Structure 1
C-alpha cells in the first residue's frame, strides 16, 4: 500500500478527496503538526491501517524536524501505548 502526502494529510487510496484512509493534521507553527483525525473506511478497520498512517506522519516528522501533537483519541492512545516508538517526535509541553 502506498501512503501519499497531500495538503495537511497522509492518505491511501486512489482519490485524495475520498481516500480509503487518511490522517489529517493542522500545522501549529514552524515545527509542530496537530493530528486532529484518523479515519479508515469501515470495511478496512481493524487491519492496522491507522497505525500505518501514524507511522507515515512520524517518519515525516523525523525527516523534517517536526513534532506531533495528538488531538485525535486514536493518536493520543497510540502515543501512550507505544511511548518508545514515538518519543522522538511527540511534542511535550513544558
Structure 2
C-alpha cells in the first residue's frame, strides 16, 4: 500500500481531497504531533488500514525526532493496546 504524506496528514488513495483513508494531525510545537483523526472508508474498515496509517505516522515521528499524542479514540486506544510497539514515539507528560 502506498501511504502518502500530505500537509498535516498521511493518506492512501488516488485523490488527496477524498482519500480512501487518512490520518490527520496538528503540529503542537517543535517536536509533537497531535493525531486528531483516523478515518478509513466504510467498505475498507476492519482490514487494518487504520493501523497502517498509524504506523506511517510513527515511522515519520521516529525519522524526524517527533512525539505523537493520540487525541482521537482510535489512536489513543492503539497506543494503549500496542504500547511496546509505539512507546518510543508516544509523548509522555512530565
**Deviation readout 1:42-81 (Å, 9 max, x if unpaired):** 0000000000000000000000000000000000000100
Q: Where in structure 1 do 4 or more consecutive aligned residues deviate above 3 Å?
A: none
**Deviation readout 1:1-53 (Å, 9 max, x if unpaired):** 10000000000000000000000000000000000000000000000000000
Q: Corresponding residue for 2:88?
A: 88
Unaligned runs of 5+ in 2: none
Unaligned runs of 5+ in 1: none
Q: CA RMSD in A?
A: 0.3
- Where 1:33 maps in the other structure, the secondary structure is strand
The size of the alignment, in residue pairs, is 94
CA distance in structure 2 between the aligned counterparts of 1:80 and 1:70, rounded to whole angstroms: 10
